[in-house]
Amino acid sequence: MKIITSILTVTLFLLFTQACGTIIHGTTQEVGISSSPSNASVTINGQNHGNTPMIIDLKRKDSHMVKIELDGYQPYETNLTRSTSGWVWGNIVFGGLIGLVVDASAGGMYKLSPEQLNAELRSSQAEALSSNAGLFIAVVLEADPTWERIGSLETSK
């Protein structure tokens, strides 16, 4: 009976001290994705996942390529990269090598960044430049009929 109690105690100790990251914050992470204007198509790693705004669970162990597209606007692309989470220190102190291996293979030792994406989509018909002095110049192929005309540029001879 004493041997069974000892084995059970050691087993429970090993189960609760391993893989701190996986136990505490899991193998996936919620990432918020929004855009201005909203209702843009979101593609992650080549697969369509819906329209903005959205919150999606992504695997922590992989980096992810995010593309946000809306007709009439330039596409927005970025990478969600993984970095080592602070829970690695819990594994080093309590879980040892076994905990590190479990968290590395499951993804629990990583975090994705950024945690929130907000894509500012630019019109595909305009290019804009600005300076610290507050000058703003936009070059467009077609003027929006709702814009107010405040001046014009002329060529010098």
User: Cβ neighbours of residue 95 under 8 Å, at least 6 residues apart?
Assistant: 17, 18, 19, 20, 102, 103
Structure tokens at 68: 């946000």
Task: Look up tokens 């080592």; give the residue.
Answer: 84
Q: Residue 91 has what DSSP assignment?
A: I
* Residue 7 in domain: yes
The total number of structural domains that make up the chain: 1
Q: What is the pLDDT of residues 118-137, one digit of tens each?
A: 999 988 765 555 555 566 66
Lowest mean pLDDT among 35-49, 84-98, 118-132: 84-98
Q: Would 134 be classed as within a structural domain?
A: no
Q: What is the CATH number of the domain that holds 83?
A: 2.60.40
Q: Is 69 exposed, middle or buried (0-12, 13-18, 19+ CB in 10 A)?
A: middle
Residue 133 lies in a domain: no
The amino acid at 99: G
In a domain, 119, yes or no: yes
The pTM assigned to this predicted structure is 0.60
**Residue 55 is assigned to a structural domain of this protein:** yes
Domain boundaries, position 48: 2-123
φ, ψ (nearest 5 deg) of residue 102: -65, -50
